[in-house]
Amino acid sequence: MSLDYVKFSNGFEKFMPKEYRDMVEHGPFGKKVTVSQMGSFKEVLEEHPMCAGCAMTLFIRLAMIAFPNPEDTITVGTAGCGRLAISQAAIPFVYGNYGDQNGVASGLSRGLRLRFGDKPKDVVVMAGDGGTADIGFQQVLHSWFRKERFTTIMLDNEVYGNTGGQESGMTNRGAVLKMAPLGKKFEKMDMLQMAKVAGCAYVATVVPNNPRRVESVIKKAVLIAREVGSTYIQAYTSCNIEYAIPTDKVMEDAKTVENDRYQFTEYVSDEAKQYLTERYGYKEFLPQPAAAIPNKA
Ligand SMILES: Cc1ncc(C[n+]2csc(CCOP(=O)(O)OP(=O)(O)O)c2C)c(N)n1
Ligand code: SF4
């Protein structure tokens, strides 16, 4: 996709549905929009069939606002709740078999580079914790070892939400779920460490109740994946149905979980730091001036 496609063909404007006209006129394509401006532009994702109050949907909306070039982005997903929303967005979406997403994204990202050369086409995988850490685990890990240049986002609700509450590798030890009534017997998988060992250039954790942080993390991950290598974001996106979180307490839960066991962490490789600084003007990785030593006279 490019901006050439996000406009009306001559003479067709009046025949296009209002939704499409609104997207061309008030959407984010070709503009720089931020999460602070939510409500003042048309988002690429507005309607979805997910449960009321689902934190995953808020996270997906924020992530899509943060894409540096939504008009040149393709999302890849798989079975699970998230694809119900991702597939409704005005961004092309590729749906693979359950767990295939990082294999599909590898081929897609390589194909796009051959076809479009230097013009960036960003590939972003968004899949559940089951799709990423269980069924798709082998493909995820190998895409990282191969340093495939796309972003993998785990929508970590710590359960198989879409199929009614089985435990996943990312469920916490001891958690009792509808279809894990005796409680999970093993620890939550440390996918962050695995991502680092496998050579990801950027690894971060986020929760959706801090929109600016979500925005910053997604932007960095997508930009780094353009040229440096694989990037991984693990987002806590609670399942209010399977964990019985009242709808009006979803953000409170996110805050508690963030403080308790999902603190913000960010790893940026030296190569990625240099790239973000030189190519995109990031200042946060520049050497900080030494703090002045207090005069003891
Ligand atoms: C090959 C295959 N096996 C099983 C399923 C059934 N299935 C659909 S979604 C899902 C679980 C999804 O859990 P997760 O990936 O954690 O995403 P969530 O729904 O929690 O967002 C399963 C087992 C399937 N669609 N395809
Ligand atoms: S089942 Fe859970 S993760 Fe799935 S849409 Fe509902 S609240 Fe969200």
Output the residue whose Cα is nearest ligand 2's atom 8.
Answer: 54
Q: Which atom of ligand 1 is nearest to the CA of 82?
A: 21
What is the distance in A from the centroid of ligand 1 to the CA of 92? 21
- Ligand positioned closest to the Cα atom of 129: 1
What is the distance in A from the centroid of ligand 1 to the CA of 56? 15
Mean pLDDT of the chain: 95
What is the distance in A from the centroid of ligand 2 to the CA of 193? 27
Q: Which atom of ligand 2 is nearest to the CA of 81?
A: 4
How high is the pLDDT of residue 95?
A: 96
How high is the pLDDT of residue 294?
A: 72
pLDDT (mean) for 196-205: 98
Residue pLDDT, tens place only, 61-112: 999 999 999 999 999 999 999 999 999 999 999 998 999 999 999 999 999 9
Amino acid (one-letter) located at 250: V
pTM of the model: 0.96
Output the residue whose Cα is nearest ligand 2's atom 2.
Answer: 239
Model confidence at 209, pLDDT cuts 50, 70, 90, reads very high
Residue pLDDT, tens place only, 151-176: 999 999 999 999 999 999 999 999 99
Model confidence at 1, pLDDT cuts 50, 70, 90, reads low
For residue 273, give the H/E element and its range: helix 270-280
Judged against a pLDDT cut of 70, whether residue 296 lies above it is answered with no
User: Cβ–Cβ contacts within 10 Å for residue 138, how many?
Assistant: 11
255 Cβ contact list (under 8 Å, min separation 6):
207, 209
Write b or e for each residue in 164-190: b if 16 or more Cβ atoms lie within 10 A of its Cβ, otherwise e: ebbbbbbbeeeeebeebeeebeeebbe
What is the distance in A from the centroid of ligand 1 to the CA of 136? 10
Ligand 2 site residues (CB inside 6 A) read 50-51, 54, 56, 81, 157, 161-162, 239-242
Q: Which atom of ligand 2 is nearest to the CA of 128?
A: 3
Residue 168 in contact with ligand 1 by CB distance below 6 A: yes
Residue 96 in contact with ligand 1 by CB distance below 6 A: no
pLDDT (mean) for 233-244: 98
Please state, in angstroms and as integers, the Cα–Cα distance from residue 105 to each residue in 66, 78, 250, 297, following that order: 20, 11, 31, 62
What is the distance in A from the centroid of ligand 1 to the CA of 33? 33
